Structure 1
Amino acid sequence: MTRAPQQPDREPSLVRQTPAVEPATAAGRGASVRRCVPGLAVCAGIAAVATALGELAPVVGAPVVAIVIGMVWHIGRGTGASLVPGVARAKGFVLQLAVVILGSQLSLTEIARVGAGSLPVMLGTLAVCLGVASLVGRWLRIAGDLRTLVGVGTAVCGASAIAAVSPVIRAKSNDIAYAVSTIFLFNVAAVLAFPPIGHALGMSQSEFGLFAGTAVNDTSSVVAAASSYGSSAGDHAVVVKLVRSLMIIPICLGLAALVRRREVLAGADAAGGRVSPLRLVPWFLIGFVLTAAANTAGLVPHATHPALSLIALFLITTALAGIGLSTNVRELRRTGPRPLLLGLILWVTVAATSLLLQLVAR
C-alpha cells in the first residue's frame, strides 16, 4: 500500500506558507508561537462545537463533525493567511500529541485478559483487510495514500489509526478527510446491522463482543454496537478493541520503513541510503509506546483514564478541524466514489473474516 510515484506535491497551500525551519532565538520562537494562535484558536473552537454536537450523536462522533464544520468554514470564509500556521500546527503537532495520549488507554495486561484464543481472530482480520486493501485499491486505481488510510482505518481502529498513520506517510488533508468520512459511514452501518446478525447466528455475549471488537472501528461505535447486544458483550468488545489498537505500532513502523525506502530510491538521502533505524521511528510513536508502558506499570492512575481519553479525543477533533479547514472540496469530488467502494468491500471483508475465523475456532 505505497504511494504512486507520480503523486502531486502535498499541501501546497499550507506547507509552502509555513517556514521549514523555526527561528533559533527565543524571540523568534515566541513570534512563531504567536503566529499559530489564531489558527489554533479557530481549530479549538470548532472542536468545542463538534464535541458538543458529538455528544448528541455519539455514533457520528466529534471528529467527523469537526471535519464537516472545517470544510464548510473553508468553503464559506476561506482559510486566510493568518490561520495557516496554526492550522498546520493542529494537523501536525496536535495530532501527534493526541496519539501519544492514546497510549495511556492501553495496557499489555489487557492482551493476557482477552486471551490467546482471541488473538487469531484479531490478527487474521487485520492481515486479510490490509491485503485486500492493497489488491482491491490498486484494481480500483485509488492513490496509494488514500487506500492506505482506508485500509488501516478499517483494519485497526478507525480515526485513531488514521491519525497515527497520516503523519508517517505525510498524507494530504483531502485523503485524510475522505478516509475518515468513509470509515464513519460504515461505523454507522455496523451499529445498525451487527446486532441483528449476531442474534440471527445465535452468538454468545463473548462471541459477539469479539465480533464487534474486531469488525467495528471507532471505540464509540464498538460500544454502541456491542452494548446494544448485552453488557457483557460491551465489556468484552472494548477490551478487544483496545488490544486491536496496539497494532498501530507495527503498522506505523512498517510504513515508516517503506516511506524511507522510497525516499532513498528517489535519491532523497544524501548519505547514500544509510540511516539509523531510530530515524525510522516517529517521535510520537515512541511516546505512544512509553505511555502504554507507563499505564501497564500502573504509573497512570486508573481514575485519570476517562479524562485522558477525553483529552485525546479533543486533540484529535482539533486536528481534524484543521484538516477540514484545508480540504479542497473540488478535489474530493474529482476523487469520485471508488474509495467509498473500497471502504464497503473492506467492511464486508473484515466482518466476514471475523465471523469465519470464530466459526473455525469453535
Structure 2
Amino acid sequence: MQTPSKKNYKFKDLIFFSTALFCLSPIVNSPVALILGFILLSFGLVPTYIDTGTITKKLLAYSIIGLGFGIQLEQAIEVSKNAIGLICTSIFGVLVIGTLLTKWLKIDAKMGHLIASGTAICGGSAIAAVAPAIKAKNQQISHALAVVFILNSIALFVFPYVGHLLEMSQHAFGVWCAIAIHDTSSVVGAASAYGDEALRIATTLKLSRALWIVPLALISALAFKERRHKIRIPLFIIFYCLAILVSSYFPQGGDIYLIIFNLSKHTLVLCLFLIGASITLKQFKEAGYKPLLLGVCLWLMVSVCSLIYILFFL
C-alpha cells in the first residue's frame, strides 16, 4: 500500500507535467503560461526535485537558437542598423540616470548598478555577467534579480495591451519590446503574443543588445576598481547567429527551418511557465521598496521615451 507522501508526489508530478505539456499547445500564450506556473508554485504543486532555473536557462538558449532559423541575414542587419542609435542611447541613458537615482535614493551602489545594468541590456543575463566583475554579494544579486523578475512579469501583460491600444505595427512593437523589456524570455514572450514579425524583430534586436554585456562588464569592473574578470559571450548568441547564416545561405531546408522556428515559439511559452513556477512571494518581499522603486523608475523612463521615439521618429 502506498504511503500518503508517495501519492502526494505522484499527484504533484501529474499536475506539473500535464500543465507543462498543455503550455506547449497553441492554446496557451506567454502571460497565461507565466500565471499557470506561479499558481502551481503557490499551491505547492511544483516537484521539489526539479531545478526549474537550470532547465529554463538551457531551454531558453535552445529556443532562441531555433528562432534564428526564422530570420534572414539581410533582415537582421537592416533591423540592427536602423535601431543602432536607439540602442546606444537607451543603454547609456539608463546607466547614467540609474547611477544618479541610486545616489539620490541612497541605495547600495553595487545593487543599483546591477539593476541599471539589467534594465539597460538584458535583465538577468546582464546582472549575472556584471556581478562577478564588481564582486557583488549574493544578497545584492538576488535583490536585483527579484526586481527584474517582477517587472518582466508585468511587461508580459502590459506591453501587448498597449501595443494593440496604440495600434502599433509588428515592426514598431518588436523594436519597443527589444528596447524596453529586460529579459530575453519576456521580450520574446510579449513579441510572440503580438505576431511572428514582431517576434523576429524583437529577437534580433534583443540579441544584438546582449552583445553589449562584454563592454559593460569591463567598464563596470573599472568603475568599481575591481580586478578584471574573464567575460564570456553566451554561447547561445553565437549559435543564434550561425542559425541565421544557415537559413540565409542554405534556403533548401526552408521547410525544416520553419518547423524548428514554430517549435521554438512553443518551447518559449514553456520557458515562461517554468519561470512562473520559480517566482516566490519571498522574492517580492526581499526586494524592498527602494530597489523596486529604482527599477520601476528606470523601466518607465526607457519604456515611455523609446515608445515616443518609435511612434513619432522611427
TM-score normalised by the shorter chain: which range applies? 0.5 to 0.7
One-letter amino acid matched to 2:31: V
Unaligned stretches of 5+ residues in structure 2: 1-11, 132-137, 182-186
Number of aligned pairs?
282
- Distance in 2 between residues matched to 1:40 and 1:293, nearest whole Å: 40
Letter aligned with residue 307 of structure 1: L
Tell me the residue number matched to 1:19.
none
- Does the 8 Å contact 2:30/2:189 carry over to 1? yes
Render the CA deviation track for 1:100-133: whole Å, top value 9, x for unaligned: 4454454432234448544433443344344434
5+ residue gaps, structure 1: 1-38, 200-204, 228-233, 267-272
* CA deviation map 1:203-242 (0-9, x unaligned): xx6xx555433333434534656x7xxxxxx84x445423
SS of residue in 2 equivalent to 1:280:
coil
Q: Deviations over 1:178-221 (max 9, x none)?
A: 4233123244333334555x47xxxxx6xx55543333343453
Decide whether aligned partners of structure 1 residues 138 and 111 sit closer, same or farther in structure 2, where only a CA change above 3 A counts.
farther
Matches within 5 A, 1:289-328: 289-298=241-250, 301=254, 302-304=257-259, 305-314=261-270, 316-317=271-272, 319-320=274-275, 323-324=278-279, 327=280
Aligned residue for 2:214? 253
Q: Does 1:125 align with 2:90?
A: yes
Q: In the alignment, which residue of structure 2 is the partner of 1:23?
A: none
Contact 2:175–2:202 (Cα < 8 Å) also in 1: yes
Among 179, 202, 205, the alignment partner of 2:148 is 179
Aligned to 1:6: none
Identify the residue that residue 7 of structure 2 maps to in structure 1.
none
AA of the residue aligned to 1:213: G
1:287 paired with 2:252, answer: no
The equivalent of 2:21 in structure 1 is: 48
Aligned counterpart for 2:190 among listed residues 221, 229, 240: 221
SS at match of 2:31: coil
CA distance in 2, matches of 1:99, 1:155: 20
Match of 1:65 in 2: 35
d(CA) in 2 for partners of 1:100, 1:60: 22
Aligned counterpart, 2:160: 191
Deviation at 1:245, TM superposition (A): 1.7
1:355 Cα shift? 4.8
The amino acid across from 1:346 in the alignment is: L
- Counterpart in 2 of 1:345? 297
Is the 8 Å Cα contact of residues 104 and 292 (structure 1) preserved in structure 2?
A: yes
Q: 1:108 is matched with which residue? A: 73
For 2:124 and 2:66, how far apart are their aligned partners in 1?
Answer: 12
Alpha-carbon deviations, 1:69-103, whole Å to 9, x = none?
46425xx47875xx16x446425544544454454
* Higher deviation after alignment, 299-308 or 166-175: 166-175
Q: Does the CA-based 8 Å contact 2:99-2:113 persist in structure 1?
A: yes
Return the TM-score normalized by structure 2. 0.63
Is the partner of 2:212 in helix, strand or coil?
helix
**Structure 1 residues 185 and 92, CA, compared in 2 at 3 Å: closer, same or farther?**
closer
8 Å CA contact 1:145–1:175 kept in 2: the answer is: yes
Aligned to 1:281, the other structure's residue is in SS state: coil
CA contact (8 A) 1:145 1:169 kept: no
CA deviation vs aligned residue, 1:110-169 (integer Å, no higher than 9, x gap): 2344485444334433443444345435544278568646754x556xxxx446446545
| C-alpha distance in structure 1 between counterparts of 2:232 and 2:104, whole Å | 29
Q: 1:181 to 1:122 in 2, by over 3 A?
A: same
Q: CA deviation at 1:303?
A: 1.6
CA deviation after TM superposition for structure 1 residue 333, in Å: 0.8
After superposition, what is the alpha-carbon deviation per residue over 1:251-302, rounded to whole angstroms, capped at 9, x for unaligned? 3333554688899946xxxxxx6x8x6x633444433343343344347634
Aligned-partner SS, 1:246: helix
Correspondences of 1:141-290 after superposition (within 5 Å):
141=107, 144=110, 148=114, 152=118, 161-162=122-123, 164-165=125-126, 168=129, 175-176=144-145, 178-196=147-165, 198=166, 209=170, 211-216=172-177, 217=181, 218-222=187-191, 235=197, 237-254=198-215, 257=218, 265=226, 280-290=232-242
CA distance 1:319–1:112, change in 2 (3 Å): same
The code of the aligned residue for 2:275 comes to L
TM-aligned CA distance change 1:256 to 1:66, over 3 Å? farther
Task: Quickly say closer, same or farther: Cα 1:115–1:186, change in 2 above 3 A.
Answer: closer
CA distance in 2, matches of 1:174, 1:47: 28
- SS of the residue corresponding to residue 65 of structure 1 reads helix
Cα root mean square deviation, aligned: 4.7
Tell me, in whole angstroms, the C-alpha distance in 2 between the residues paired with 1:61 and 1:163: 21
| 2:127/2:144 contact within 8 Å kept | no
Structure 1 residue 66: deviation in Å? 5.5
Q: Distance in 2 between matches of 1:284 and 1:127?
A: 25
